[in-house]
């Protein structure tokens, strides 16, 4: 029996009988990856969907923090089918208290495309409202991303009541072999080390907590900061056991009297090679504790990651930064050799919490 969402999106009336929705299954991953890749290549020529990451979000451990549907051609009786590829997908991630991430893709050739996107974004309000209720909140922020060159996506989000609130710079720095031995040491009174690991390869618990604390306290003054509890942080790590590259985690420390205290953290990951680029390192999170700013901590963490990339024979280090960062981080990155190669946007809306649908009278 096909799995159907308890409160599915409303298909536009002109598409009823032609398209319908159901929950994702394993066989949807590859065709949806192709659909996403085609969408990405409308603005990035060699862009490609991350199939492994998509599989985890659709049917793996990461799917547990999401509510999602695929849109598929309907059978003659109007019911969903398993033997035809999805033409659209949307997923809502309960990311943190007060924040819901929205993802969606709809094939360019789908009839009544704008109307279908509108119905999926209406459904996002319904789902996010239930997330807010479960968290005991009055509302939650809906957060969606768009490439700056994807004006079509921006128009669709704007029509659904989203506002473009931020621009993000995607920056890249080339790495040379010589940097494996030539990067400067940290400033006196500071140091950078990899997280300590057990013989199993897993990190020592204290260091995991330290990285979480550094990231949370570093970004507390950011415009889009939503507190992520340690339990939620750990759950995201557990959801991606093959993706958590513990040998790409660093902690910066500062001398405080006769003690070394944590002052910052950096989480990175390997970037696979593409047809035009060699293997690289991606800096996922870099945070400097607000009380430790001005001591060269960020530079030391960046140099540690650059040196590590050079030692591994990688060709570049990429990162993403808020173009309006209150700390001027983009200026720091620029001074150290990073250059912006593309821009993306954050679009926000809000969904009010709503009572359980069980409390409503059943439809006639």
Common-topology check for domains 13-166+348-357 and 176-314: yes
CATH code, residues 13-166+348-357:
3.40.630.30
What is the model's pTM?
Answer: 0.89
3-state secondary structure of 41: coil
Contacts 24+ apart (CB under 8 A), 328-332: 329/298, 330/169, 330/171, 332/298, 332/299
Predicted confidence at residue 244, as pLDDT, reads 66
The 3-state secondary structure of 209-223, one letter per residue: HHHHHHHHHHCCCCC
Closest CA to 318 of 293, 336, 287, 339: 339
Question: Mind listing the pLDDT tens digit for each residue in 269-314?
Answer: 999 888 888 999 999 999 999 889 899 999 999 999 999 999 999 9
CA–CA–CA angle 283, 289, 293 (5° rounding): 95
> Which sequence spans correspond to the domains of the chain?
13-166+348-357, 176-314
CATH code, residues 176-314:
3.40.630.30
Give the separation between CA 172 and CA 319, rounded to whole angstroms. Answer: 7
Q: How many CB atoms neighbour CB 16 within 10 A?
A: 12
Question: Mind listing the pLDDT tens digit for each residue in 124-142?
Answer: 999 999 999 999 999 999 9
Question: Mind listing the pLDDT tens digit for each residue in 31-88?
Answer: 999 999 999 999 988 888 989 889 999 999 899 999 999 999 999 888 888 889 999 9
Is residue 215 very low, low, confident or very high in pLDDT (cuts 50, 70, 90)? confident
Residue 277, Cβ density class (10 Å: 0-12 exposed, 13-18 middle, ≥19 buried): middle
């Amino acid at each position: 029996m096909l799995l159907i969402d308890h409160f599915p999106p409303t298909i536009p009336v002109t598409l009823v009988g032609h398209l319908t929705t159901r929950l994702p299954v394993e066989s949807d991953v590859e065709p949806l990856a192709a659909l996403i890749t085609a969408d990405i290549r409308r603005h990035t020529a060699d862009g490609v969907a991350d199939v492994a990451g998509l599989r985890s979000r659709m049917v793996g451990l990461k799917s547990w923090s999401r509510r999602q549907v695929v849109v598929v051609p309907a059978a003659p009786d109007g019911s969903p089918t398993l033997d035809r590829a999805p033409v659209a997908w949307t997923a809502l991630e309960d990311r943190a208290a007060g924040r819901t991430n929205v993802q969606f893709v709809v094939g360019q050739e789908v009839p009544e495309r704008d109307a279908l996107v509108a119905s999926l974004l209406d459904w996002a309000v319904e789902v996010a409202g239930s997330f807010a209720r479960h968290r005991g909140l009055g509302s939650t922020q809906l957060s969606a991303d768009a490439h700056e060159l994807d004006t079509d996506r921006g128009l669709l989000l704007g029509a659904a009541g989203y506002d473009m609130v931020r621009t993000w710079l995607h920056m890249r720095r080339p790495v040379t072999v010589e940097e494996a031995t030539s990067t400067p040491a940290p400033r006196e009174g500071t140091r950078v080390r990899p997280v300590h690991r057990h013989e199993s390869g897993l990190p020592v618990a204290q260091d995991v907590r330290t990285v979480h604390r550094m990231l949370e306290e570093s970004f507390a003054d950011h415009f889009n900061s939503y507190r992520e509890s340690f339990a939620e942080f750990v759950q995201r790590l557990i959801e991606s056991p093959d993706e958590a590259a513990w040998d790409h985690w660093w902690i910066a420390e500062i001398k405080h009297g006769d003690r070394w205290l944590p002052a910052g953290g950096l989480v990175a990951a390997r970037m696979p090679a593409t047809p035009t680029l060699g293997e690289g390192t991606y800096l996922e999170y870099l945070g400097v504790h607000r009380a430790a700013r001005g001591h060269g901590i960020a530079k030391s963490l960046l140099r540690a990651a650059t040196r590590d990339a050079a030692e591994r024979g990688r060709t570049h280090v990429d990162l993403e930064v808020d173009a309006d960062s209150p700390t001027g981080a983009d200026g720091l990155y620029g001074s150290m050799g990073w250059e912006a190669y593309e821009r993306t946007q954050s679009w926000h809306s809000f969904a009010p919490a709503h009572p359980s649908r069980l409390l409503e009278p059943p439809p006639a």
